[in-house]
Amino acid sequence: MLDRLFTLFRGKPAEREIPEALWQATLADYPFLAQLPATRRDALRTLSGRFLAQKEFHGAQGMLITDAIAIAIAAQACLPVLELGLDWYDDFVGIVVHPGQMLARREQVDEAGVVHRYSEVLAGEAMDGGPVTLSWQDVASAGELAGQGYNVVIHEFVHKIDMRDGTPDGCPPLPSRAARQRWQGTMQAAYDGFREKVTIAERFGGEATWLDPYGATSPAEFFAVACEAYFVNRPRFSDEFPALTPLFDHFFKQNKPPAL
């Protein structure tokens, strides 16, 4: 079933706008968007409209994708590419939304050739060259959880950015080898320090980390988890990771005009 939003956005992206009432409702639900400077909120609204015109939303388990759901996801997905442009998301079209978290079946072969099968609970997943899957339960709570630096939409769409140059490794496409080396050096130091804090907390009863400990599982997950916090709670993120803030500022072009 297609509702009013998908009728509005069937034309060329530049010919459609998000209705005022729906946009204001989105800002009210996600205060970290409302707190953007007015020029960036306007740019985000325009970019979100173009995103909606280019992507296809699918509800899983009988879920109906309403206008409010699609706009909420679009606005958060567009935040990381507000200054980079939508070309960073041109490798896929589909966005699948589940009512709640998902149970994914996994299969892994160890060094001895033994196959291990297990299940993993997911709030979202980004497929290389394929769709993004999200739990609406987690998306809907993003406004409340911004204080904890949590945002599943940003997490999965940052994975998409990371995948632009191949397997996600915590380093997005960069213009030169020197830039990549600088990025990896800064990120590795932050990642190592974070992993140590997570280990102390989990094994020795140390203070729990503010950032989601899931970020300690790999450099790719650390990049995605760090970006969640960077975009939804910059002040706390800057206190926790002062070396990463200017690194992310430079990559995401936070000091430049939005690319529309």
**Whole-number Å distance between alpha carbons of 220 and 115:** 24
pLDDT of res. 224: 98
This prediction has a pTM of: 0.88
How far CA 10 is from CA of 2, 120, 134, in Å, comes to 11, 36, 23
Percent of the chain with pLDDT over 70: 84
Mean model confidence pLDDT for the chain: 89
pLDDT tens for residues 103-123?
666 556 556 665 545 556 677
Percent of the chain with pLDDT over 90: 77
pLDDT of res. 110: 54
pLDDT of res. 101: 78
Where does the pLDDT of residue 1 fall: very low under 50, low under 70, confident under 90, or very high at 90 and above?
very low
Determine the distance from the C-alpha atom of residue 56 to the mean position of all C-alpha atoms in its chain, rounded to a whole number: 17
Token pair, residue 28, equals 């009210």
Token pair, residue 248, equals 């992310």
pLDDT of res. 123: 78
**Whole-number Å distance between alpha carbons of 122 and 105:** 10
**Whole-number Å distance between alpha carbons of 218 and 22:** 37
pLDDT of res. 16: 63
- Residue 82's region, left for phi above 0, alpha for psi from -120 to 50, else beta, is alpha
pLDDT of res. 166: 87
Mean pLDDT of 149-153: 97
Token pair, residue 139, equals 């998306």
What distance, in Å, lies between the first and last C-alpha atoms of the chain? Answer: 30
pLDDT tens for residues 54-100?
999 999 999 999 999 999 999 999 999 999 999 999 999 999 999 98
pLDDT of res. 50: 94
Where does the pLDDT of residue 102 fall: very low under 50, low under 70, confident under 90, or very high at 90 and above?
confident
Mean pLDDT of 39-57: 95
Where does the pLDDT of residue 2 fall: very low under 50, low under 70, confident under 90, or very high at 90 and above?
very low
Residue 3 pLDDT exceeds 50: no
Outline where DSSP puts E strands in 81-144.
94-98, 102-109, 115-122, 124-126, 132-135
Task: Output Rg (C-alpha) for the chain, integer angstroms.
Answer: 19
Annotation: CATH topology of 4-252: Cyclin A; domain 1 (1.10.472)
Kindly report the length of the chain: 260
pLDDT of res. 107: 57
Q: Where are the domains of the chain?
A: 4-252
* Three-class secondary structure of residue 115 per DSSP: strand
Mean pLDDT of 219-224: 98
pLDDT of res. 124: 83
Q: Identity (one letter) of the amino acid at 231? A: F
Q: How does DSSP assign 135-157, residue by residue?
A: EHHHHHTHHHHGGGT--HHHHHH
Segment among 37-41, 102-106, 139-143 with least mean pLDDT: 102-106
Q: Which residue has the higher pLDDT, 251 or 258?
A: 251
**Closest by alpha carbon to 14, among 38, 46, 57, 56?**
46
